[in-house]
Chain A
Amino acid sequence: MRVVAVAVGLVVVGLLDGSFAGFRASLGRTGLVDHRRSDVVAAARGLGLVAVLLVPAVAVVAVAAAAATWPAGAYARAGTAMLTVYLPYGALVLLAVGAYAVLDWKLKYLASAVILGPFTFARPLVAVAGAVAGALSGADAVVTTTIVLATAAVLTVEPLAGRLWYEPVPLRP
């Protein structure tokens, strides 16, 4: 059961990250002041895109699960190590997003300046750090393959969403 709980946790983190990545890919494109609707569309696109990109990693897990030597323990150890890295990061980001959504402009600014901006900058490093921690804890070739595919998928969402939906930018003149 532990491996299932860990897997669910990682999938939730991955989907959440995908929707934020899709949102970021859409920003700074049109110049419009009110872009709430396009923000929602962009987040949904990111969610869908990360779900598709995670299919190879899920396929590896499915094949491994069907085999006689299903490395459940290694998956659980690896996933736990990854969540140990990702959950504090994700919790802080969600806290900052919540603050940004409801607080006054000075605190919005601080949430962005202190957490959201720097954490976006650090995100690829955090993703790789979690992957390395997972690979070391799992110590299994199949598990490591799954981690590499999943990490690559998550890091691909933002640039791919940009290329798929926002480039070339409909610019004038």
Chain B
Amino acid sequence: MTTVGRVEITDLLWGRDEHGMRQPVLRSQVVARLEASGQRRAARIVARMPASDDVLDPGHVDVLAVRVHCELQRLAEELQFGRRVAALLRPEVQRLREQAPGPVRVLDVGCGLGFLVRSLAHEQALGPGVELVGVDLNDALVDEAARLAVVERLDCRFVHGDAFTPGTAVDDGARTLVISTGLLHHLDRDELVTFFRAQSDLGAAVFAHWDIAPCVWSTVGAWVFHRARMREPVSRHDGVLSARRAHPAEPLLAAARAGAPRHSTAVLEGPRWQPGALDVVRPIVGRLP
């Protein structure tokens, strides 16, 4: 009988100590963890990954991360993530511009390859005076995101570390909009409260976090799209599981209100009984009055 929750493979392939330093990851432990949650196919995928003395090859794992995120970017492009995010952020940026002069910062937490930040920069979607910053704990992804930004001469930057550690990426919370896409389902309900509290503590003017709305349509859609579009077995596995792990609106709102009580919060989706096609990926938004 399964006693532990299902996890995405990519949640298990990197180990870091409390200082963020990379630690070796034992393949046998990852396989055992996946088997414990009944994820036999995922366990087989990991069992085939190269390892030395049972330690997963960090180079292979980093290359895999980039491959998986390149595929994810393809999906994000197709599902209009850049334009979707820009449409919501534009009026928020304008509001902050009208409140006071000076730059506004958009901070993408868990940015991965930084597609969203690079896309906003490429389209100049938010106008002048907006600093676009991506932050991720995975240094391989951050390095690649930074390289891609240089290749395409995009006005944005990427930082390796914890986005909410003071000084890492937020200088002035009142001028900062914190965003993410596809991050929330990686957090359990306790971690969600901590996540929102961190943004509250930084005084973020706005947060907007997009994630999959769990319903039969999103699960079927994730399965179809990942079969049709993804090549990596890890992508296919994690993509479908992410739809199944996603949080409904109620616990998201409860966590946001517990962690960031000063923010006015809402999940921007239609009624559960009639989910719109656009609502399959929807944001939880919080604004300071």
Contacts and interface: CB of A to CB of B under 8 A. Distances in A.
A37 interface: no
B83 A105 contact: yes
B154 to A, nearest CB: 7
Interface in A93-110: 105-106, 108-110
Contacts of B57: none
Contacts of B147: 172
Given A27-B74, A33-B152, A34-B152, 11 more contacts: A28-B72, A28-B73, A28-B75, A33-B122, A108-B80, A118-B224, A121-B227, A171-B66, A172-B63, A173-B140, A173-B143
Contact of A173 (B59, B67, B79, B277): B59
Contacts of A105: 80, 83-84, 87
A27 B229 CA distance: 9
Contacts of A117: 78, 221, 224-225, 228-229
B76 to A, nearest CB: 10
Interface in A107-133: 108-110, 112-114, 116-118, 120-121
Nearest to A168: B63
Most buried by A among B71, B72, B144, B228: B228
A31 B224 contact: no
A1 interface: no
Contact of B115 (A31, A108, A109, A110): A31
Given A28-B73, A120-B228, A173 B62 contact: yes
B152 A32 contact: yes
Given A32-B152, A33-B118, A33-B122, A113 B277 contact: yes
B100 interface: no
B69 interface: yes
A33 B74 CA distance: 10
Contacts of A67: none
Nearest to A100: B78
A109 B63 contact: no
Question: What is the interface residue range for chain B against chain A?
Answer: 35 or more
B113 interface: yes
B115 A33 contact: yes
Most buried by B among A28, A32, A120: A28
Contacts of A32: 148, 151-152
Interface in B71-127: 71-75, 78-80, 83-84, 87, 113, 115, 118-119, 122
Contacts of B67: 169, 171
A113 B79 contact: yes
15 contacts: A28-B231, A29-B70, A31-B73, A32-B152, A33-B119, A33-B122, A105-B80, A106-B278, A109-B277, A117-B221, A117-B225, A117-B229, A121-B225, A172-B144, A173-B62
Contacts of A38: none
B206 to A, nearest CB: 21
Contacts of B113: 31
B280 interface: yes
A162 to B, nearest CB: 7
Nearest to A25: B231
Contacts of B119: 33
Contact of A113 (B59, B70, B87, B221): B221
B162 to A, nearest CB: 21
Interface string B212-227: 0000000001001101
Contacts of A114: 277
Most buried by A among B80, B87, B152: B80
A84 interface: no
A172 B143 contact: yes
B228 to A, nearest CB: 4
Contacts of B140: 173
B119 to A, nearest CB: 5
Contacts of B227: 121
Across the A-B interface, the 8 shortest Cβ-Cβ residue pairs: A28-B74, A105-B83, A121-B228, A28-B71, A120-B228, A105-B80, A33-B122, A109-B80
Nearest to B145: A31
